[in-house]
Amino acid sequence: MRLVGPVAGLAALAVGAAVLLTGAGRVALVLVAAVLLGLLVFLVVFFRDPERTAGDGIVSAADGRVLRVERADGRWVVSVFLSVVDVHINRLPLDGTFEAVETSGRGFRPAYRPDAASNVQRRYRLRTAIGPVDVVQITGIAARRLVSFVRPGDARRKGERFGMIVLGSRTDVLLPADRAEPTVRVGDRVRAGTSTIARILP
């Protein structure tokens, strides 16, 4: 994400406010400068996008803590909950071609609750070497904006960026149970693109 404009603007305002602090009794300006600098730090931390080398096997699509590892309808579902301090860039769990990008759902329930599965969400349908794989960005109370970097027909490699969730939420990876086996447990910390969440079965 390119935030040069917003970050530069906040930095300029903060510096300008600081310059005006030439005398005593300028409490209001001190508070304004502190707030602006706080916002600047938040933007820099929140929108960070570190370079990463893809890990082994099937990797996590998101940074955060594993919330769910369950088998349902012939697929493994691995859910990762992202807090507001996690990197929010989503990455491909394995090489694939995007067959569809679909938005659905209603509401913004807490992403860690089971009923969050019906929240506003964006599903990425992938064609991969192990069969159909879905990655789902799910909104939460604060996370109400889903950002896509890809379109149907795009091909990407494992670990490449495909989207972003603005503020904390949840990302699900759905894998064919006959071709993949989870290697993580609920509570594990994972990193997008580098942490292995499943191994490919022969």
Active site residues: 169
Give the number of residues written for the chain.
Answer: 202
Per DSSP, the chain holds a count of helices (H) and strands (E) of: 2, 14
- In the chain, the amino acid numbered 107 is G
Strand intervals (E) in the chain: 58-59, 64-72, 75-82, 89-91, 96-104, 121-128, 131-138, 145-148, 155-156, 161-166, 169-176, 180-182, 189-190, 196-200
Q: What is the chain's alpha carbon radius of gyration, rounded to the nearest angstrom? A: 20
* Dihedral, 49, 55, 57, 60 alpha carbons, nearest 10: -30
Say if residues 186 and 67 touch (Cβ distance below 8 Å).
yes
Distance between CA atoms of residues 156 and 173, nearest Å: 16
Closest to 47 in 3D by CA, of 156, 140, 127, 167 = 167
CA 22 to chain centre: 43
